[in-house]
Amino acid sequence: MEKLLLIKYGELTTKKGNRKVFIKMLCKNIEKILYGINYNLEQNLSCMYIKVEEKDLNVCLEKLLQVFGIHSIAICESVNNNIEDIQNKVVEILKNKNFNSFKIETKRSNKKFSLNSLEVSSKVGGFVLKNISCKVDVHNPDILVNVEIRGEATYIYVDVISGIGGYPVGIQGKGLLMLSGGIDSPVAGYLSLKRGVDLECLYFESLPHTSLEAREKVLKLASILNEYSLNIKVHVVPFTNIQETIYKNAPDSYIITIMRRMMYRIADRYSKKIKCKVIINGESIGQVASQTLTSMVVINSVTNKPIIRPVACMDKLEIIDIANKINTYQTSILPYEDCCTIFLPKHPVINPELDKCIEIEKTFNYEELINETINNIQVINLNKVKNDLL
């Protein structure tokens, strides 16, 4: 037996001019995520139909619930195109439900069907009233029964499952996510994916001061994000040399400010190299000394790239809430040190001065160090196996 899933796009339908591009991207993403499953997909400007075998239904649903751009999914019952079969099926469905009022809504794309939509709704509604004790309420029904008469069959559905919404991943091009092992940056990545931005992840590593477990943790977080993209690579920056040089040359209170300016410089140059339009990170206003507005301005001034900070205005508890929902929290709280925490000074400056940063940076040849570091970035493709299959 085949099942039919009816998919509604939601927000992307508001973007009239781009609708076709959006739908094409959504189809491409669905194709990737359903790889290995036998299915048939048909789409039009307002919805999409996916036919799958009943045995694949659950796994298919699970996967579709990770696709941005899907607003809702309805599992439809199918019957032959004749009014008696439709009436019987609707009654069979409604007999298992607890309700007082209902409404039948019919769509008829098959214009050869002998009755029009209103006639179908009224005949089916009448049959329900004869068989089940309930009433019709066209304004505020307890249950809405949708009947869609299509060429090959009629599809009936009542329950609608919410999708994760947003825009199809990739529709906006790529952003470079500065991904630490913390709580905030995976959430920032998720929120960007949700707006259609595909990601490359940049991880700054300071071996041996940070451990390989810390890297594993970042890869795990990236692989959770990858479930929504299937396109993510992690770029590991060997940051030890730069960090040690800063440690030797900068006054304690400025170590973090200078370090973050170097991170931004690397992210800026590398994003051009791998064609990312923006840099994304998990900074949140006021969370730590390097995230006061003054610090952000001084750190940000090394790049002209737009920096997207999806969690900038969220409280930590709000961020944690999302981290729990997307299943990154438990990994994020594993206790491995990040390069930002290893050389943490007792009193980092809260209001750094730009001139002072420039003075400090004159004391070592950071350009050379940055070039060398970028040349040694290691790329880890999370989709190696998947890409080989596709």
Nearest Cα to Cα of residue 93 among 143, 48, 154: 143
What distance in Å separates the CA atoms of residue 64 and residue 58, rounded to the nearest whole number? 10
Residue number of the CB closest to ligand ATP reads 182
- Does an H or E element contain 212, and which? helix 212-226
* 255: its two tokens: 């170590």
26 Cα distance to chain centroid? 13
Out of 148, 184, 338, 361, the residue judged to bind Mg ion by CB under 5 A: 184
| Interaction partner, residue 175 (Mg ion, ligand ATP, none; CB < 5-8 Å by kind) | none
Residue 184, interface with ligand ATP (CB under 6 A)? Answer: yes
**Rounded to whole angstroms, what are the CA distances from 162 to 39, 65, 287?**
21, 8, 33
Point out which span in 39-47, 54-62, 177-185, 366-374 binds ligand ATP (CB under 6 A).
177-185
Cis, peptide link before residue 168, omega less than 30° from 0? no
In the complex, what is the shortest distance from the CB of residue 132 to Mg ion, in angstroms, rounded to a whole number? 56
Torsion of CA 328, 10, 120, 92, to 10 degrees: 10
Cβ proximity to Mg ion: between 9 and 239 the closer is 239
Six token digits for residue 164:
């994760």
Shortest Cβ 36–ligand ATP spacing (Å): 33
Site for ligand ATP in 186-215 (CB under 6 A): 202-204
What is the per-residue DSSP string for 131-190?
A: HSS-EE-SSS-SEEEEEEE-SS-EEEE--EEEEEES--TTTT-EEEEE--SSSHHHHHHH
Using CB under 6 A, pick the residue from 148, 198, 200, 338 that binds ligand ATP.
Answer: 338
- Which of ligand ATP, Mg ion, none is residue 198 near (CB under 5 to 8 Å by kind)? none
Nearer Cβ to Mg ion (283/361): 283
Q: Which does 310 bind (CB under 5 to 8 A by kind): Mg ion, ligand ATP, none?
A: none
Which of 70/188 has CB closer to Mg ion? 188
CB 21, min distance to ligand ATP, A: 30
Binding to ligand ATP (CB under 6 A): which residues in 271-300?
A: 281-283, 287-288
DSSP secondary structure string for all residues of 352-376 = --HHHHHHHHTTS-HHHHHHHHHHT
323 binds ligand ATP (CB under 6 A): no
Q: How far is CA 346 from the centre of its chain?
A: 37
Does residue 339 bind ligand ATP (CB under 6 A)? yes
All residues at 6 or more sequence positions from 292 whose CB lies less than 8 Å from its CB, including other chains: 285, 286, 350, 351
Both tokens of residue 117? Answer: 């939509």
75 binds, among ligand ATP, Mg ion, none (CB under 5 to 8 A by kind): none
The answer to the question of residue 183 lying near ligand ATP (CB under 6 A) is: yes
Contact between residue 45 and residue 8 where contact means Cβ atoms under 8 Å apart: no
| Residue closer to Mg ion, measured from CB, 101 or 287 | 287
Number of residues that bind ligand ATP (CB under 6 A): 18
Q: Which is nearer to ligand ATP, 108 or 265 (CB)?
A: 265
Identify which range of 21-29, 143-151, 178-186, 209-217 contacts Mg ion by CB under 5 A. 178-186
Of the two residues 127 and 228, which places its CB atom closer to ligand ATP in the complex? 228
Q: Which of residues 14-73 bind ligand ATP (CB under 6 A)?
A: none
Asked if residue 178 binds ligand ATP (CB under 6 A), the reply is yes
How far is the C-alpha of 270 from the C-alpha of 277, rounded, in Å? 11
Based on CB atoms, which residue is closest to ligand ATP, 145 or 258? 258
> At 307, which amino acid appears?
I
Give the 3-state secondary structure of residue 198: strand
**Which residues in this chain contact ligand ATP in the complex, by CB under 6 A?**
178-180, 182-185, 202-204, 281-283, 287-288, 338-340
**Which residues in this chain contact Mg ion in the complex, by CB under 5 A?**
184
